[in-house]
Amino acid sequence: MTRKKVKLAYIANDSARKATYKKRKRGLMKKVSELSTLCGIEACAIIFGPYDSQPELWPSSSGVEHILSRFKKMPEMEQSKNMVNQEKFLRQRIAKTNEQLKKMRKDNREKEITRLMFQSLTAAKGLHGLNMLDLNDLGWVIDQKLKDIAIRIESLKKPSMQLQLRSQPQPPPPSQPSQTQPQSAAWLMELESPQDQMRFVGDDMLLPFGDQTYNYDNAMWSNAFFP
């Protein structure tokens, strides 16, 4: 059986208020003790009540004095950094609740407009009775859905493109010329390259290497190879 939620308000009945005070006081002291033991921190509690002649202290009078002295040695900004009173605490709770309410209203509005969009697509409901605010919200929801679809399509395309690139045969690496190739063969390849289609030596023009129309009686040829 679930516990009934207690309304946070002043208890008008004296006997009920006294019983609640004793019960909550024991619970508070237990929580402070557990917090100090489990987290290894220094904590203390001071409770002034109308039903006790002396204030309730935890863990002891000397322990409370030690912690309070450490607290007073801190700078004033550090002392009040996380300190709240009842009014400030309630204001923080109200602000947090308002933010949650605003978020829930936005989510509900988006779900409502999305449902209206699907109804209009299935011709279950027309758009004639909508006002300008509803139409603007509907346009915004449609734009968001289109953007989500485009992002989804792009994410589905990437794995298939990568798979196609992997399946394509890779071209062989370019062959490097052998470092041990003889100098005569390299000289022959250099002469046969397209860059050496025409050579000039002095004032005479040499035709490509191996040309059958070359004049072997040329003095430069005979002097170079047949001394």
Q: Is residue 19 part of a domain?
A: yes
95 lies in the same domain as 79? no
Last residue of a domain, one of 83, 100, 122: 83
Q: How far is CA 66 from CA 13, 39, 74, 109, 144, in A?
A: 38, 19, 13, 55, 59
Question: What local confidence, expressed as pLDDT, does residue 124 receive?
Answer: 67
Residues 96 and 159 in one domain: yes
* Predicted local confidence at residue 159, as pLDDT: 72
Q: CB–CB of 85/110 below 8 Å?
A: no
**Mean pLDDT confidence for 126-143:** 85
Looking at residue 182, what is its pLDDT? Answer: 47
CA dihedral sign, ordered 28, 33, 36, 39: negative
Split into its structural domains, the chain has a count of 2
Chosen domain end from 42, 60, 83: 83
Question: Is residue 170 helix, strand or coil?
Answer: coil
| Segment 61-108, tens digit of pLDDT | 999 999 999 999 989 888 888 888 888 888 999 999 999 999 999 999
pLDDT (mean) for 27-56: 92
- Name the nearest CA neighbour of 98 among 110, 90, 87: 90
CATH code for position 31: 3.40.1810.10
Q: Is there a domain that residue 118 lies in?
A: yes
Instruction: Please report which confidence band the pLDDT of residue 28 belongs to, taking 50, 70 and 90 as the band edges.
Output: very high
Cβ burial of 114 (10 Å; 0-12, 13-18, 19+) is middle
Q: Which domain holds residue 79?
A: 14-83
**Residue 170 in domain:** no
